């Protein structure tokens, strides 16, 4: 019974949800999105699950989104994400040069 009451207390009414959305900043959502895209991009370069087209899509997305934040976030944050993008591009170039891993027969 206590679990059910806790769940009800945690659920937001439509009005409360709308108020949360009104208080959100687009720049905060973009920062979160950029962080996730960068993490996914690096994950797609891992040899065990390499997917170069998806890694390239992550890089292209970062190159499009990071400049949009100019003037909305501190310059240091912008520099950090620009550096993350450059590092991901370098990692992509290195991964693209490596031979594709082959599966060993069992």
Domain map of the chain by residue range? 13-97
pTM: 0.78
Compute the residue count for the chain.
106
Among 50, 57, 48, residue whose Cα is nearest residue 89: 57
pLDDT at 5 over 60: no
Question: What pLDDT does 62 receive?
Answer: 98
**Residue 1, H or E segment:** none
Checking 74-81 for CB contacts under 8 A at 24+ apart, the result is 77/31, 81/34, 81/38
Is 8 strand, coil or helix? helix
Instruction: Say which residue, 2 or 20, is predicted with more confidence.
Output: 20
Rounded CA separation 66/69 (Å): 6
Give, in degrees to the nearest 5, the angle at Cα 78 between 25 and 89.
120
Question: What pLDDT does 45 receive?
Answer: 97
User: Which tens digits make up the pLDDT trace of 68-82?
Assistant: 999 999 999 999 999
Cα 79 off chain centre by: 16
Give the mean model confidence (pLDDT) for residues 5-31.
85
Question: What pLDDT does 1 receive?
Answer: 54
């Amino acid at each position: 019974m206590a679990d059910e009451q806790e769940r009800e207390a945690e659920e937001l009414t439509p009005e409360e949800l709308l108020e949360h959305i009104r208080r959100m900043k687009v720049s905060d959502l973009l920062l979160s999105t950029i962080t996730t895209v960068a993490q996914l991009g690096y994950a797609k370069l891992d040899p065990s699950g390499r997917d170069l087209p998806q890694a390239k899509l992550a890089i292209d997305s970062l190159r499009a989104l990071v400049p949009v934040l100019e003037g909305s976030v501190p310059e240091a944050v912008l520099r950090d994400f620009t550096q993350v993008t450059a590092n991901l591009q370098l990692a992509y170039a290195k991964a693209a040069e490596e031979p594709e891993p082959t599966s060993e027969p069992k």
